[in-house]
Every structure is written in C-alpha cells, then in structure tokens.
A and B are shown apart, each in its own frame.
Chain A
Amino acid sequence: MTTFFLFVLIMLSILILVYLYRVIQGPTVFDRVLGLNGISTKSIILVVVIGTVYGREEMFVDISTGYALLNLVGAFAIAKFLEQRGTP
C-alpha cells in the first residue's frame, strides 16, 4: 500500500513540475498566477496523501486547511493589486 501512495506522490510532483513550466514560461502575469493557484491545489492534495502515508491524518489535514485559506488570501491580494495597476 505504501508503494501505491509513493506512486501517487511522485505523480503529483511531476504535475507540479508541469505547472512550474507554465509559471516560468507564461506570456502574461495572469498565466503565472493561474499556475500558482494550480500548484497550491496540488500541494493541498499532496499534504493529505503524506498524512495518510505517515498515519497522522488529523495533523496534516489541519495543515492543508490552513494552506487552503492562506492561498485564498494571497490570490485575492495579487488579483486586486494587478487589477488596479493594469497589465504590465
């Protein structure tokens, strides 16, 4: 069972690398923001899977909840700032 979860973890890491390509490459700044949003969703899933591997779900689920809320605040701040400043 641990082997299967390791496979899931490696797949998620590869997906994060693909999104990172979009963050580095992206033509506009909004592509980068969108890529970061996708990376944070993958990280939330990743943290829950790590909790399942270690058998400490109650702690890791709390961490992922906090991460989701923090991601919301950060995305709003960036979106508001870029909306006022206009496209670079």
Chain B
Amino acid sequence: MVVIAIALILIGLFFLVVAAVGMVRLPDVFTRSHAVSLTDSLGAFCVLVGLSLYQGFGINMLKILVVLALLFLLNPVIAHATIRAAYRAGVKPQAEEDQ
C-alpha cells in the first residue's frame, strides 16, 4: 500500500512540474490556462489519491476524497470564469477562428 502511495505521489509531482514548465513556456493566457487545467485535474488527483492511500481506509481517507471532489468541481469553474473575463475584456487569442 505504501509503495503504491509513493509511486502515485511521484507521478503527480511529475505532472505538477510539467504544468509549471508549461506556465512559463506557453505564449498567451488561453494556452496557459490549458497548463493550469492539466495540473489541477491530473496532478492533484494523483497526489491526493496517493496521500489517501497512505492514510489507509478510514475517516481521513474519506475526508481527503471530499477535498478532491471539491477541487474537481470548482477548478473548471474558476478557469472558465477567468478565461471568459479575459475574452470579454478584449484579450485577443493568437488563434484563427473556425467553425
């Protein structure tokens, strides 16, 4: 159990590092938000599931999973609100419009 937990936490850290690299390298707000979406969905998932496995079965595992569900519900909403504000305020994406 502990070995699986450590492996999951390391995988999650790898995705978090990739997201930070993307945050520095990518050119504009819209593409950077993809990097944040990546870290929030997969990195946080792996790290928190690893921590809850390290706890073992019990009330603490359930509580960490509640935090995880909250992150999965709230993070897309925050990303969408920020991006919609950027689009409506007139930040132009470097992209061609397409049907």
Q: Find out whether A and B make contact in their complex, taking CB atoms under 8 A apart as touching.
A: yes
Q: Which residues of B contact A72 (CB under 8 A)?
A: 74, 77-78
Contact, CB under 8 Å: B81 / A79? yes
Contact, CB under 8 Å: B51 / A49? yes
CB closest chain-B residue, reference A15: B20
Given A21-B24, A44-B67, A75-B78, A30 and B91 touching (CB < 8 A)? yes
Q: Which residues of A contact B32 (CB under 8 A)?
A: 22, 31, 34
| Cα-based distance from A2 to B17 in the complex (angstroms) | 21
Please name 23 pairs of A and B residues whose Cβ atoms are closer than 8 Å in the assembled complex, sorted by A. A8-B13, A11-B13, A11-B17, A18-B20, A18-B24, A21-B24, A22-B32, A34-B33, A34-B79, A41-B36, A42-B16, A45-B44, A45-B47, A48-B51, A52-B55, A58-B63, A62-B63, A68-B74, A71-B78, A79-B81, A80-B85, A82-B85, A87-B91
CB closest chain-B residue, reference A57: B60
Contact, CB under 8 Å: B89 / A87? yes
Interface of chain A residues 1 through 43 with chain B (CB within 8 A):
1, 4, 8, 11-12, 15, 18-19, 21-22, 28, 30-31, 33-35, 37-38, 41-42
